[in-house]
Amino acid sequence: MSRKLIELDHIFKSYDGQMILDDLNLYFNENKFLTLLGPSGCGKTTTLRLIGGFETPDKGRILFEGKDITNLAPNERPVNTVFQKYALFQHMTIAENIAFGLKIKKKSDQYIKDKIKYALNLVGLNGYENRMPHSLSGGQQQRIAIARAIVNEPKVLLLDEPLGALDLKLRQDMQYELIRLKNELGITFIYVTHDQEEALTMSDTIVVMNQGYVQQIGSPEDIYNEPENAFVANFIGESNIIDGIMICDKCVEILGVKFECVDSGFGTNNPVDVVIRPEDVQLVEPGEGMLDGEVTSLIFKGVHYELDVMANGYEWLVHTTRMVPVGTKVGIHIKPFDIQIMNKPQFSDEEALTTDE
């Protein structure tokens, strides 16, 4: 069982009178890859900077292994941060960049030499000791930034959108590289991103944030398959989020049609939000499903087709491997297990919001 490593206890943080974190309570277990995920302005980077010591909370405590580190300087904390912009010293060689923190700690020359070799081997850049940062690609520079953090042997590695400046293929390669490093090093990774796919790919645990509040904490599978509110369902992947009426346990009315589902405990004849993922909408022959509709849009996405299907006044988003031309009459079938029922949001921060990221 993982041990609690970092705890954020009743954290409040505001900038210029605007509340960014409102009574945040959160903890991080050791030897895990934890991701803070959410749109711009949700408080994820502020949370990371508080852990790293680059910001101080207005109220609350930050605990590391039970010790209060709220007012400790960044260099006094057992953490290292990797930033999106790499922050390499352009006038220093790669070896000098990696050795920078070790020299401040007055480590011996042999120790530093061994650590440089170890770190470069770990990130797959042997022989780059005498290169200058400007001669490296973006992905190579990011690896050096990670190597520089690793040689200090932090208990926690903080990563603030470190892959945001990379192209898609390189970003995907670096995702797998980070997973490998985490497994080899056995340290805790706390990762900030607004990229849902990135979070689902790499994380042991995802913390979904919005407007300074934690919306849901869980494994990637739980976050995707069992979203707790409309915001999470809409932000993690794509969803059909439809107004429904919970007729009774395991029966919900959607668009005037009763559907069997597996959820219970939502009362009788209560308004609910119904979430159905586009890949769970099955297209059948007209008359063979719960609803009949017509394909109004078709886009080829590579691994699947993305369709819009108008049925009972609602435009369904459908992902399928079948090419179904616009204008085709279809039936819609949904398995009970693929219908997710949620309570209507009580607060604005739970509502499904869009983001331009």
Residue 353: which pLDDT band, with cuts at 50, 70 and 90? Answer: very low
Q: What is the mean pLDDT of the chain?
A: 89
Residue 157 near residue 123 (C-beta atoms within 8 A): no
Q: Which whole-number Å values give the CA distances from 347 to 224, 239, 275, 334, 351, in the listed order? A: 22, 20, 18, 30, 7
Q: What is the rounded average pLDDT of the residues 144-162?
A: 86
Residue 348: which pLDDT band, with cuts at 50, 70 and 90? Answer: low
Instruction: Please check the confidence at residue 46 and state whether its pLDDT lies above 50.
Output: yes
Give the whole-number percent of the chain exceeding pLDDT 90. Answer: 59
More confident residue, 86 or 124: 124
Residue 177: which pLDDT band, with cuts at 50, 70 and 90? Answer: confident
Q: Which whole-number Å values give the CA distances from 60 to 21, 288, 328, in the listed order? A: 11, 58, 58
DSSP sequence for 280-335: G-EEE-TTSSSEEEEEEEEEE-SSSEEEEEEETTEEEEEEESS---TT-EEEEE--
The whole-angstrom separation of Cα 308 and Cα 293 is 10
What pLDDT, on a 0 to 100 scale, did the predictor assign at position 346?
Answer: 67
Q: What is the rounded average pLDDT of the residues 78-82?
A: 87
What pLDDT, on a 0 to 100 scale, did the predictor assign at position 102?
Answer: 87
Phi, psi of 227 (to 5 degrees): -65, 140
Q: What is the rounded average pLDDT of the residues 127-144?
A: 88
Q: What is the rounded average pLDDT of the residues 7-21?
A: 93
Q: What is the strand order of the sheet 18-29 is part of?
A: 18-29, 4-15, 59-64, 67-68
What pLDDT, on a 0 to 100 scale, did the predictor assign at position 345?
Answer: 74
What pLDDT, on a 0 to 100 scale, did the predictor assign at position 1?
Answer: 60
Provide the CA 122 distance to its chain's centre, in angstroms.
25
What pLDDT, on a 0 to 100 scale, did the predictor assign at position 354?
Answer: 36
What pLDDT, on a 0 to 100 scale, did the predictor assign at position 3?
Answer: 83
* Two tokens, residue 86: 């790499």
Domains assigned to the chain: 4-225 (3.40.50.300), 238-342 (2.40.50.140)
Give the whole-number percent of the chain exceeding pLDDT 70. Answer: 95
Lowest mean pLDDT segment, chosen from 8-22, 229-243, 318-332, 335-349: 335-349
* Two tokens, residue 152: 């200090």
